Chains A and B, each alone.
Chain A
Amino acid sequence: MAAISRDDVAHLAKLARIEMLPEELDHLATELGQILGAVARVQEVATSNIAPTSHPLSMSNVFRDDVVKPSLTNEEALSGAPAKVDDRFKVPQILGEE
């Protein structure tokens, strides 16, 4: 059974951008271990000669002509923004201090 440590969960939570409380990390480490133990069964039959399926339909990319079509107005696009300034999204600082 796949063991998953508290530190592993902390790393995954950082990758997934979810700030987690210490007790959540402990709880999830136990639960993920159980779930991984159950789902690891897929390895029993997934031999190297089987092609993977990523999607139920075999489709190729769909393109359209590069023509401007009606779309949301600026105001509509910004209507759900948690913060805005003029006609732009306002976001917290993205780059660290120089």
Chain B
Amino acid sequence: MSSIHLTAAEMASALSKGEVSSVELTKEHLDRIALVDGKINAFLYVDSEGALTQAEAIDKKRAKGGELSPLAGIPIAVKDILAQKGIPTTAGSKILEGWRPPYDATVISKLKAAGVVILGKTNMDEFAMGSSTENSAYGTTQNPWDLSRTPGGSSGGSAAAVAAFEAPLAIGTDTGGSIRQPAALTGIVGVKPTYGGVSRYGVIAYSSSLDQVGPFGRTVLDTALLHEAIAGHDERDSTSINAPVPQVVAAAKRLDVKGMKIGVIKELSGSGFQAGVSARIAESLELLVAAGAEIVEVSCPNFEYALAAYYLIAPSEASSNLARFDSMRYGIRIGDDGSRGAEEVMSATREAGFGKEVKRRIILGTYALSSGYYDAYYGSAQKVRTLVKQDFEKAFAKVDVLVSPVTPTTAFKIGEKSSDPVAMYLSDIATIPVNMAGIGGMSLPVGLAEEDGLPVGLQIMAPLMQDDRFYRVGATLEAALLAKWGKPILSNAPDLAAQK
């Protein structure tokens, strides 16, 4: 009997009772990857040997009666943007092909110390720039619900791996929605913690004032367990918050929203959102009211400018961050034939090593930061950021959490938006304000859209460092939905093993 369909919490319990060993659990997941990953391309690298070695060590420790953390022995998939010592790390880019980092990201160190079994590295849009994984230099990831559709992005490989039962948990990063959007499109839970809540040390930087590492799981509790395992202050990340981690596991077990005020953002509803998405959101609000919450409509008038500001701020920061890929210290080097100077080799390497979207954003950012245009573009975008923050502050003065759809539509077709950058950017319209303000947000699967049978995500947002609030609301709603459906949402997904 396979254990892959258990939740991480159930796996932890089975491990502690001795019903299954970590080696067995790991082998089952490696077998699953071998069986279905050819269809969805979620993994860029599978570290079978490393995973089994870690699993054996945990089983031995458990047999000796050693102290183990809650997730010890449980497999995980990690987005290929986190440096892992000795393991190929590409950030989905050709420019890093073959690079094996000489050190671990803090999140990787924490996972290893907690005894979590790292199965491998997952596919993503190059340098996290994209919303579909179509910008990966190593091929697109397919959505397990429908192989002709994208799983979203940029953390699409991590989301697809969890939705396809290749791993119960995964790590992603979220700069403008890159955890929440793929979670929504694949019917799983994804959380972008408060900015600074999880260390970014060893995470290849895209837009440093927006980037945040976070967890994926199939349930709110699983996601909370992983959140607590990776969160906390890190002296190696100067933007890491030096304060206690919000008690998200306790919040995920509370299952009570009586008296909570939930704000519905007027500007993120109605026209512009697919009917089936809006219907599932409305139904979720009814369930929350039945559970004792109060719904209040709030207005965030400046959110309509957030997307524009994001596509100035993120490319600007990227144009600076990606200057480090200079072909001198690591990564590929092109055209070094002895006749060319360093600058020419650098330019030839960056031309060959970066994909289209990355070049587009570097050039856009270079433009927005150049003298004569700085105030009009980057400066104005920073002012919009202030307005978005103020909109959230005013809203949170009235309510405990805010909600909206995660995405305007369900999963879109591969190729549908790849030739129109502005259309692709629009899929992040509801997730971007959260990154601009630095607050945390969750994507919770709340059912399937009637017109296409694909998953819909509800976004739940809370003030800075109050991440426990969206776990509390998310877990309560998840329980109400499960009671209504009688089975988990992923049981509606097609059988991947039987798919051509």
Identify the A interface with B (CB < 8 A).
4, 8-9, 12-21, 24, 28, 31-32, 34-36, 38-47, 50-57, 59, 61-62, 64, 72, 76-77, 79-83, 89, 91-94, 96
Please encode chain B, from 310 to 345, with 1 for each CB lying within 8 Å of some chain A CB and 0 for all others. 011000000100010011111111001010111111
A93 to B320, CA, bound (A): 23
B362-401 residues with Cβ-Cβ distance < 8 A to A are 362-364, 366-367, 370, 376-377, 379-387, 389
Given A24-B359, A61-B238, A89-B329, 16 additional A-B pairs, CB 8 A: A12-B366, A17-B350, A18-B354, A35-B422, A39-B312, A40-B308, A42-B380, A45-B383, A45-B387, A52-B383, A54-B382, A56-B195, A56-B438, A57-B438, A80-B329, A81-B329
**Does B363 lie within 8 Å of A9, measured CB to CB?**
yes
In the assembled complex, B348 has its CB within 8 A of some CB on chain A: yes
Is there an interface contact between B382 and A52, defined as CB atoms closer than 8 Å?
yes
Query: B345 to A92, Cβ gap below 8 A?
Result: yes
Given the complex of chains A and B, what is the CA–CA distance between A89 and B342 in angstroms?
13
Closest partner residue, chain A, to B208 (CB atom): A55
Query: With A50-B387, A83-B336 as given contacts, are A31 and B359 in contact (CB-CB < 8 Å)?
Result: no
Separation of A62 and B73 alpha carbons in the complex (Å): 36
Instruction: Tell yes or no: B305 within 8 A of A by CB.
Output: yes
Q: Are A62 and B238 in contact (CB under 8 A)?
A: yes
Q: Which of A8, A20, A57, A91 contacts B351 (CB 8 A)?
A: A20
A42 touches B309 (CB 8 A): yes
Q: Which residues of B contact A (CB under 8 A)?
A: 99-103, 195-196, 209, 235, 238-239, 241, 302, 305, 308-309, 311-312, 319, 323, 326-333, 336, 338, 340-348, 350-351, 354, 359-360, 362-364, 366-367, 370, 376-377, 379-387, 389, 421-422, 425, 436-439, 464
* A36 CB to nearest chain B CB (Å): 8
Question: Mostly helix, strand, loop or mixed at chain B's interface?
Answer: helix
Contacts of B195 in A (CB 8 A): 56-57
A43 and B380 within 8 A (CB): yes
With A16-B362, A46-B379 known as contacts, the answer to whether A56 contacts B209 (CB < 8 A) is yes
